[in-house]
């Protein structure tokens, strides 16, 4: 890990100053297709870009398992090392999480910063947190990520000092550091509990209104759709995790009020500390009545993204909630996938096929839209309206007019 990791400097990857030249590295393990790794690295590059790095090159290696010492094979380490030196690379980003030992060994080998996927995501989150809640949650996740890695850090420093073994004068220091971090963790947890309580009260005060929550993979277009539906200005950007904090808006359609919330997106291999510490943000999901699952239909891996989102929803215990699938970015999908000369009938036929497939698979309604081009927005609104009406009716069967 980076050398200056300590409690007073949590923002350790230092990615946010100027663009750092980086390489991304992925291991193609047994049973994995090369294509899959290439998609993963696309995403990793996107993450790196979001964090402010410039990715110069990508490297992959086929290995049955990661090597315990250097994660990669020795030949590969040398090859990448030469590239790093020739191209003045400052940062190596791994798609997988490294053990402290692997990270330290690589850092020694290449003499540049080694960052893994979790660190990168944590770094982006730290950069983007706005509210006290989000900031506290990210800090907690960072501390929890750091805690088991301290020993590795210490060993590394000791080795630099002259290679003393695992015990020695540094031991006490590491214990103190660890205690400081543990203290910090419990303080952050307490702080979060307080914020949670306030938020719970706030949520209660929102009363009996039906609640809709936008969910989806990061960059699917949730915030864009939120803005469109609520005519508000939630931050939307072509970067991963542009929004971290939950935004809730009250909407009124045909005199029927409901709440719509936009929250953090999901991604493959979201560090589990982060998910843990974001539990309270995700209460918004737990307390919602209907999930609106936004999918970037133009993304080559949209099916995997759906799976990741479904899996995360399951882990959060909200997979039994009613949900609709909104296949967004139809404009981009058509541009990428449809030949300019294709007739409308055929296009319709292809889309119908996809719709049927996913409706059957997930037993959920599906609408194709483009939030940017405002295609099929009325269809979506119509569907949501009828579902919200149903929800009000089931919930308050004796009241005919509740709004």
Q: Could you list the residues that contact ligand GDP (CB under 6 A)?
A: 216, 218-224, 236-238, 242-243, 265, 328-329, 331-332, 370-372
Asked if 263 touches Mg ion (CB under 5 A), the answer is: no
Task: Report the alpha-carbon distance of residue 20 to residue 4 in Å, rounded.
Answer: 17
Tell the burial category of 201 from Cβ atoms under 10 Å away from its Cβ (0-12, 13-18, 19+): exposed
- Look at residue 371 and give the partner it binds from Mg ion, ligand GDP, none, a contact being a CB closer than 5 to 8 Å depending on partner kind: ligand GDP
Asked if 261 touches Mg ion (CB under 5 A), the answer is: no
Closest contact distance (angstroms) between CB of 331 and ligand GDP is 5
Task: Report the alpha-carbon distance of residue 240 to residue 50 in Å, rounded.
Answer: 6
Closest contact distance (angstroms) between CB of 361 and ligand GDP is 22
Closest contact distance (angstroms) between CB of 282 and Mg ion is 15
* Residue (177 or 262) nearer to Mg ion, CB: 262
* Residue (222 or 273) nearer to Mg ion, CB: 222
Asked if 246 touches Mg ion (CB under 5 A), the answer is: no
DSSP string for residues in 172-239: HHHHHHHHHHHHHHHHHHHHHHHHHHHHHHHHHHTTT--EEEEEEBTTSSHHHHHHHHHT------SS
Q: Interaction with Mg ion in 284-313: which residues (CB under 5 A)?
A: none
* Residue (90 or 123) nearer to Mg ion, CB: 123
* Residue (211 or 222) nearer to Mg ion, CB: 222
CA dist list (Å): 274 to 185, 197, 263, 269 = 13, 20, 14, 10
* Residue (137 or 243) nearer to Mg ion, CB: 243
Task: Report the alpha-carbon distance of residue 342 to residue 357 in Å, rounded.
Answer: 22
* Residue (84 or 242) nearer to Mg ion, CB: 242
Tell the burial category of 82 from Cβ atoms under 10 Å away from its Cβ (0-12, 13-18, 19+): exposed
Q: What angle do CA 174, 134, 178 make, to 5 degrees?
A: 10
* Residue (243 or 376) nearer to Mg ion, CB: 243
Asked if 102 touches Mg ion (CB under 5 A), the answer is: no
Tell the burial category of 111 from Cβ atoms under 10 Å away from its Cβ (0-12, 13-18, 19+): exposed
Candidates 13, 118, 136, 243; binder of Mg ion (CB under 5 A) is 243
Asked if 277 touches Mg ion (CB under 5 A), the answer is: no
- Look at residue 237 and give the partner it binds from ligand GDP, Mg ion, none, a contact being a CB closer than 5 to 8 Å depending on partner kind: ligand GDP
Closest contact distance (angstroms) between CB of 235 and ligand GDP is 7
Sequence-distant (≥ 6) Cβ neighbours of residue 369 within 8 angstroms = 225, 326, 327, 328, 330, 375, 376, 377, 379, 380
- Look at residue 332 and give the partner it binds from Mg ion, ligand GDP, none, a contact being a CB closer than 5 to 8 Å depending on partner kind: ligand GDP
Asked if 223 touches Mg ion (CB under 5 A), the answer is: yes
Query: Residue 115's closest CA among 55, 73, 160?
Result: 55
Q: Is 159 helix (H, G, I), strand (E, B) or coil?
A: helix
Task: Report the alpha-carbon distance of residue 14 to residue 366 in Å, rounded.
Answer: 42
- Look at residue 52 and give the partner it binds from Mg ion, ligand GDP, none, a contact being a CB closer than 5 to 8 Å depending on partner kind: none
Closest contact distance (angstroms) between CB of 192 and ligand GDP is 24
H and E: helices and strands count for the chain: 14, 10
- Look at residue 152 and give the partner it binds from ligand GDP, Mg ion, none, a contact being a CB closer than 5 to 8 Å depending on partner kind: none
Q: Which two tokens stand for residue 370?
A: 């483009």
* Residue (161 or 335) nearer to ligand GDP, CB: 335
- Could you list the residues that contact Mg ion (CB under 5 A)? 222-223, 242-243
């Amino acid at each position: 890990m980076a050398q200056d990791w300590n409690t007073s400097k949590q923002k350790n990857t230092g990615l946010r100053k100027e663009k750092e030249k980086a390489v991304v590295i992925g291991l193609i393990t047994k049973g994995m297709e090369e294509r899959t790794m290439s998609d993963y690295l696309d995403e990793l590059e996107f993450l790196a870009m979001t964090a402010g790095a410039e990715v110069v090159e990508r490297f992959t290696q086929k290995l049955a398992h990661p090597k315990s010492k250097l994660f990669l094979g020795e030949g590969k380490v040398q090859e990448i090392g030469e590239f790093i030196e020739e191209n003045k690379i400052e940062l190596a980003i791994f798609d997988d999480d490294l053990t402290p030992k692997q990270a330290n060994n690589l850092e020694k080998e290449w003499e540049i910063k080694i960052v893994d996927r979790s660190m990168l995501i944590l770094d982006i989150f730290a950069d983007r947190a706005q509210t006290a809640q989000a900031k506290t949650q990210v800090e907690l996740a960072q501390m929890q990520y750091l805690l088991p890695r301290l020993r590795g850090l210490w060993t590394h420093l000791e080795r630099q000092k002259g290679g003393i073994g695992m015990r020695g004068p540094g031991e006490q220091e590491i214990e103190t550091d660890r205690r400081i971090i543990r203290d910090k963790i419990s303080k952050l947890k307490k702080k979060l509990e307080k914020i949670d309580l306030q938020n719970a009260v706030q949520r209660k005060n929102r009363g009996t209104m039906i609640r809709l929550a936008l969910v989806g993979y990061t960059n699917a277009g949730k915030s864009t759709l939120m803005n469109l539906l609520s005519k508000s200005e939630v931050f939307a950007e072509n970067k991963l995790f542009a929004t971290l904090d939950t935004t809730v808006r009250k909407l009124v359609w045909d005199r029927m009020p409901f709440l719509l919330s936009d929250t953090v997106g999901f991604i493959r291999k979201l560090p589990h500390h982060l998910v843990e510490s974001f539990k309270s943000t995700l209460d918004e999901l737990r307390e919602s009545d209907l999930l609106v699952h936004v999918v970037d239909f133009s993304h080559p891996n949209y099916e995997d993204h759906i799976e990741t989102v479904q899996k995360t929803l399951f882990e959060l215990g909200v997979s039994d909630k009613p949900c609709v699938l909104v296949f967004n970015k139809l404009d981009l999908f058509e541009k990428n996938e449809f030949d300019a000369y294709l007739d409308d009938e055929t296009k319709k036929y292809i889309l119908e096929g996809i719709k049927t497939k996913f409706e059957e698979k997930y037993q959920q309604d599906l609408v194709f839209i483009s939030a940017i081009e405002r295609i099929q927005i009325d269809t979506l609104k119509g569907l949501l309206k009828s579902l919200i009406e149903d929800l009000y009716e089931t919930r308050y069967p004796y009241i005919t007019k509740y709004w």
